[in-house]
Amino acid sequence: MSTHIEHGINTIEFFHPQSNSLPGKILEELAREIHFAGTHEETKVIILRSGGEKTFCSGASFDELASIKNEKEGLKFFSGFANVINAMRKCPKFIIGRIQGKCVGGGVGLAAAVDYALATGKAEIKLSELAVGIGPFVVGPAVERKIGTGAFCALAIDATAWRSTDWAKRKGLFAEVHESIDGMDEAVYRLANTLAHSNPTAMAEMKKIFWRGTENWDELLKERAAISGKLVLSQFTRNAIEKFKVK
């Protein structure tokens, strides 16, 4: 995890060698850094990005999923996703998502929870949770809010199918799609620089309006985390996770 602040632009970058998967430690750091950026006076706008060029985020860490032993541990792990999404939701600064590659599961949740996502043509998406015996319970509200109930249901049910970047843009997940990483980065920093010179009070008020109707998410996402925390303990899910780990 690294952060860099320059000219009012706070860049938060996460990285994991396993396709930018999200173990509990990274989730905890992400929530903390996003919360800090929201309260940091010098920060005017936030860029959320990940390391590498291939995968933006492959979702939950299979190693950690496989190691969960009881409902309490399950709740704690999936609450990590809830805490990140709620930190993004409540942050008074706009968050720009730099989506350079594929998004899976929780990665789709991150892309949905940013306020403005820019992607490359390689940023295919998939909600794979049902394929491993759980479901997109925690990230679901963020994804559904952004792309609508019909598109969310299609993603959640057909859990093994990739959807194209163009599909994601048509549904509203991505605001812009660029042919290259360089083109995307140019657009990211053009927008970030513009927002860094915009009225911070106006942006904070706009963000409140954009997220209206989500005031119950502190409780809702914890309830959803408990559902996933129970399901991950089933023998069906354990077998499915082991098969994925072998691939």
pLDDT at 246 over 70: no
* Residue 132 DSSP symbol: G
* Residue 96 DSSP symbol: E
Supply 147's token pair. 């792309």
| 231 located within any domain | no
pLDDT recorded at residue 19: 94
Domain interval for residue 160: 2-196
| 114 located within any domain | yes
At 208-236, the pLDDT tens digits run 999 999 999 999 999 999 999 999 999 99
Contact present, 144 and 115 (Cβ < 8 Å): no
pLDDT recorded at residue 73: 96
| 14 located within any domain | yes
pLDDT recorded at residue 243: 81
Average pLDDT score over residue span 92-111: 98
pLDDT recorded at residue 175: 98
Average pLDDT score over residue span 64-83: 95
| 107 located within any domain | yes
Please count the structural domains in the chain.
1
| 242 located within any domain | no
pLDDT recorded at residue 124: 98
Q: What's the whole-number average pLDDT of the chain?
A: 96
Provide the CATH number for the domain around residue 179: 3.90.226.10
| 69 located within any domain | yes
pLDDT recorded at residue 247: 60
| pLDDT category of residue 242 using cuts at 50, 70 and 90 | confident
At 118-175, the pLDDT tens digits run 999 999 999 999 999 999 999 999 999 999 999 999 999 999 999 999 999 999 999 9
For the chain, helix, strand, coil in percent to 5 are: 55, 15, 30
| 224 located within any domain | no
Non-local (6+) Cβ contacts of 95 within 8 A are 34, 45, 46, 47, 48, 88, 113, 114, 115, 116
Q: Which H/E stretch holds residue 49?
A: strand 45-50
End-to-end CA distance of the chain: 27
Average pLDDT score over residue span 4-13: 97
Non-local (6+) Cβ contacts of 238 within 8 A are 66, 133, 232
pLDDT at 27 over 80: yes
| pLDDT category of residue 241 using cuts at 50, 70 and 90 | confident
* Residue 23 DSSP symbol: -
| 226 located within any domain | no
N residues, the chain: 247
